[in-house]
Chains A and B, each alone.
Chain A
């Protein structure tokens, strides 16, 4: 187990380097640079050249890249081209909001998804199963920003149960978290169902019944524990998708998270900010993946060895 964790940790190092390189190169390909944006429309060529020099944009690409890597190791992500403040400052105020949103969404994904999946699996092909599966299919098919707009219209505008936007109280968080978690919940529900149906056919379930164990214990103790092992991976993968989703959802609900920061910065051509934002988001993704892998391995060790 320890060997596995060490190996898995070592594997993340090249991944992180790869990410920095890709992010850097993509930013180079984007037409227009920070200097142009900062100088504003109608600025003279000279002003722009001067700005470029000041920002270090006239140096060779590899120098710029290694410079940014060197900065990264010191927690320095550069200076925002817009606000002239360190990028890291802005990110550290925005990141917790996105993490919070992702956390609540994951909670909804897990609780809603697993509950629905179990309800389905307990009586397969029944009315309750069919209804859950239809809703799940819709949940997967709806684009999240669209679902967000619909929910906002119904619950915030018409019913006025929840505020339209912002991020101050639990009330603010419910709609965005639900919107973001919905498709994940649908996927987890389908996964839980098929995994449960697979598990209840196993020999050890027959053994449990032959011992006279009561029905709900057979389901919750004997079947569910085994059925959830593959679901863990799905939840992990969903978390990745969820981070991507925050970009859209934060824009829809006007939440000042990291996703929205990145979108705004792209519009401003604030390259250091975009680069920093994507880098931090990717790091979070890599770390979560690492964690899920280890967790899965831990739960799965007894099955591997069979």
Chain B
């Protein structure tokens, strides 16, 4: 695969300045997305996945702010661009699908118009042409009788259909990057797999890079080329999907994989990881995972580990105890 970079995120920090103090919601993220690739971001609720993606589009809600770092689209810096410049990028070069299909569409505007307005905004087509194109987009995402559906309002469509509309809307201007923030979480399983298949097909057709955000490792295995595991605003492990599932390295990743139900193993019960993610407003000295880590030692409370790159540059891990080649011998067995 020609590894042409389309989006590069470097040391991105998004903080929320509130009365409670500073919430380090995104705390130094590095990610690279190549053309035509799907990059997964996984992690528990509240670890900063959505804020990372909203930071890329510079749509972080108040009182959040990007305080440091860079986001480059085709080598062009986005952080610091004006609202007007960003508007030309949003929905055009970088699109986003949100996790709530039920509430992400405007309830009083026809779905066709909601797609068409994006097209008018970015491609300068007139009303009629744009509406025509919106019908084509609805056809592309597999909505039956698109001419009729285009004139309907969201409440007349099912959840799965609405998510298809969201996809049609996001792809209407042929974006180079699609950020899908848990696009299937709210849908039932059969619809979920239909939507995933659809996204894969469209990706091949349109050659876009996808950032796929989810907390479902099963979905990651199905869709992603590479994966970043996030914990409390940081990346703790970053590798190819295959490597991640075969040889998880960070104790958090191992925990996540162990909590996955395994069909082929005689497992008595589902092991969910105990404890919860630390608040982004809490000051931290050492590793953020120590409270829940089965192999943590005193040093973990003192030293904040760096994200270390493997010698062959194939993966990165943020753990004091991780050493290459030798699997961790303490605590957990490898999965």
* B79 within 8 Å of A (CB atoms): no
B108 on interface, CB distance cutoff 8 Å = yes
Determine if A213 and B106 form an interchain contact, defined as CB atoms under 8 angstroms apart: no
Q: Is A210 an interface residue (CB 8 A)?
A: yes
A residues near B95, Cβ cutoff 8 Å: 210-211
A-chain residues with CB within 8 Å of residue B219 when the two chains form the complex = none
Cβ distance B324 to chain A, nearest Cβ, rounded Å = 40
A94 at the B interface (CB under 8 A): no
Q: Within the assembled complex, what's the spacing in Å between the Cα atoms of A215 and B121?
A: 12
| A186-220 interface code vs B (CB 8 A; 1 in, 0 out) | 00000000000000001110111111111101000
B121 touches A214 (CB 8 A): yes
- CB neighbours (8 Å) of A3 from chain B are none
Q: Which of A69-77, A101-109, A261-269, A298-306 contacts B (4 or more CB under 8 A)?
A: A298-306
Question: Residue B105 contacts which of A207, A212, A303 (CB distance < 8 angstroms)?
Answer: A207
Cβ contact within 8 Å between A209 and B59: yes
Is B59 a contact of A211 with CB atoms below 8 Å? no
A202 to B105, CA, bound (A): 10
Q: Does A52 contact B (CB under 8 A)?
A: no
B107 at the interface (CB under 8 A from A): yes
Summarize A's interface: helix, strand, loop or mixed. Answer: helix
Q: A212-B89, A214-B87, A302-B154 are in contact. Are A222 and B106 (CB under 8 A)?
A: yes
Task: Specify which of B59, B86, B92, B169 is in contact with A206 (CB 8 Å cutoff).
Answer: B59
Given A210-B95, A210-B96, A212-B118, also A203-B109 (CB < 8 A): no
Q: Does B102 contact A (CB under 8 A)?
A: yes
Q: B98: CB under 8 A from chain A?
A: yes
Instruction: Assess whether A221 is interfacial by the CB under 8 Å rule.
Output: yes
Chain B residues, CB < 8 A from A203: 98, 100, 103-104
| Nearest CB of chain A from residue B151's CB, rounded to whole Å | 14
Counting CB contacts under 8 A, is B153 at the interface? yes
In the assembly, what is the distance between CA of A207 and CA of B101, in Å? Answer: 10
Interface residues on A, range: 20 to 34
**Chain A residue with the shortest CB-CB distance to B120:** A213
Chain A contacts for B122, CB-based, 8 A? 212
| CB of B88 to closest CB in A, whole Å | 7
Q: When chains A and B are docked, how far (Å) is the Cα of A214 from the Cα of B90?
A: 11
A226, CB-defined interface residue at 8 Å: yes
| A189 vs chain B, min Cβ distance (A) | 22
Cβ contact within 8 Å between B107 and A210: no
A222 B109 Cβ-Cβ under 8 A: yes
A225 close to chain B: CB less than 8 A: yes
The answer to whether A210 touches B108, judged by C-beta atoms less than 8 angstroms apart, is no
Residues of B near A306 (CB, < 8 A) are 102-103, 107, 155
**B153 adjacent to A211 (CB under 8 Å):** no
Decide if B98 touches A207 in the complex (CB within 8 Å). Answer: yes
- Digit string of B62-106 for contact with A (CB within 8 Å is 1, else 0)? 000000000000000000000100111111100110101011111
In the complex, A303→B92 CA distance in Å? 29
Please classify how large the interface on chain B is, using the bins under 10, 10 to 19, 20 to 34, 35 or more: 20 to 34
Q: Which of A207, A225, A301, A306 neighbours the largest number of chain B CB atoms within 10 Å of its CB?
A: A207
How far is B153's CA from A299's CA once the two chains are assembled, in angstroms? 12
Q: Is B57 positioned at the interface, with any CB of A under 8 Å from its CB? A: yes
Contact of A204 among B88, B92, B104 (CB under 8 A): B104
Question: Distance (Å) between the CB of B133 and the closest chain A CB?
Answer: 14
Chain B residues, CB < 8 A from A305: 155
Whose C-beta in chain A lies nearest to the C-beta of B152?
A302
Q: Does B117 contact A (CB under 8 A)?
A: yes
Give per-residue flags for B110-125: 1 if the beta carbon is below 8 A from chain A beta carbons, else 0: 0000000110011000
Chain B residues with CB below 8 A from A222, complex form: 106, 109
CA distance A208 to B57 in the complex (A): 13
Q: Which of B90, B106, B153 contacts A212 (CB 8 A)?
A: B90
- Contact assessment for A226 and B57 in the assembled complex, using a CB-CB cutoff below 8 Å: no
**Nearest chain A CB to B247's CB is how many angstroms away?**
36
Give 25 A-B contacts (CB < 8 Å), ordered by A residue.
A203-B104, A204-B106, A207-B104, A207-B106, A210-B59, A210-B90, A210-B96, A210-B98, A211-B117, A211-B118, A211-B121, A211-B169, A212-B121, A212-B122, A213-B87, A214-B121, A217-B117, A222-B106, A225-B109, A226-B106, A229-B108, A303-B107, A305-B155, A306-B102, A306-B155
**5 closest pairs, A vs B, by CB?**
A211-B91, A212-B90, A212-B91, A302-B155, A203-B103
- Beyond known contacts A203-B103, A209-B90, A302-B108: 14 more, CB 8 A cutoff: A203-B100, A207-B169, A210-B57, A210-B98, A211-B95, A212-B122, A213-B87, A214-B87, A214-B121, A222-B106, A229-B108, A299-B108, A303-B155, A306-B155
